[in-house]
């Protein structure tokens, strides 16, 4: 677990400056390019793959002001998972919340912590193999924008 914490901290200290927060110049004239959100991801993937941590999911999509995105995934017991989210130049940060399925409903597990460059990280030791839900919510949408792209990276030890 310490290795996962250290890796996430290192990745964001080193690479957030390469990621989307400063990527407006990489966008196209319509503001629809994915380049601002994926810039720098290759170096993050290389750093993770050189460690004992495995990337199990990478996702990029749109996130709209005053709306949340829900991602569903089965997580396995006895793993420690790391979740990292960030927004492009239009989104100040992307709030992360983790829920565990409980019958027909959902039980809150944990929220992410703000990290370097507007990113959010969440570390969770999973005790029960079951279906989980990640809720991503845009925070601090930049003035003049109602949508932006987000990036999500899920890894485990």
**CA–CA gap between residue 73 and residue 132 (Å, rounded):** 5
pLDDT, averaged across the chain: 85
- Across residues 43-54, what is the average pLDDT? 81
Per-residue confidence (pLDDT) for residue 75, from 0 to 100: 97
CATH number of 2-156: 2.60.120.380
Q: What is the mean pLDDT of residues 142-147?
A: 92
pLDDT in tens, 6-29: 656 555 544 444 454 557 888 888
Position 18 scores a pLDDT of 46
Give the residue-averaged pLDDT of 38-45: 79
pLDDT at 157 over 90: no
The answer on pLDDT for 101 being more than 90 is yes
Secondary structure of 18-78 in the HEC alphabet? HCHHHHHHHCCCCCCCCHHHHCCHHHHHHHHHCCCCEEEEEEEEEEECCCCEEEEEEECCC
For the stretch 107-142, pLDDT in tens is: 999 999 887 667 888 999 999 999 999 999 998 899
- In angstroms, rounded to a whole number, what is the distance separating the alpha carbons of residues 57 and 83? 9
């Amino acid at each position: 677990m310490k290795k996962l914490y250290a890796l996430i901290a290192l990745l964001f200290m080193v690479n957030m400056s390469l990621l989307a927060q400063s990527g407006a110049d990489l966008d196209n004239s319509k503001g629809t390019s994915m380049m601002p959100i994926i810039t720098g991801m290759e170096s993050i993937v290389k750093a993770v793959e050189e460690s004992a941590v495995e990337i199990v999911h990478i996702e990029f999509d749109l996130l709209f002001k005053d709306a949340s995105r829900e991602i569903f995934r089965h997580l396995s017991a006895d793993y420690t998972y790391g979740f990292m989210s960030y927004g492009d130049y239009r989104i100040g940060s992307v709030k992360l919340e983790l829920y565990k399925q409980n019958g027909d409903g959902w039980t809150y597990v944990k929220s992410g912590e703000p990290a370097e460059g507007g990113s959010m990280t969440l570390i969770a030791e999973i005790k029960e193999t079951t279906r989980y839900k990640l809720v991503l919510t845009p925070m601090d949408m930049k003035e003049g924008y109602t949508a932006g792209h987000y990036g999500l990276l899920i890894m485990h030890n």
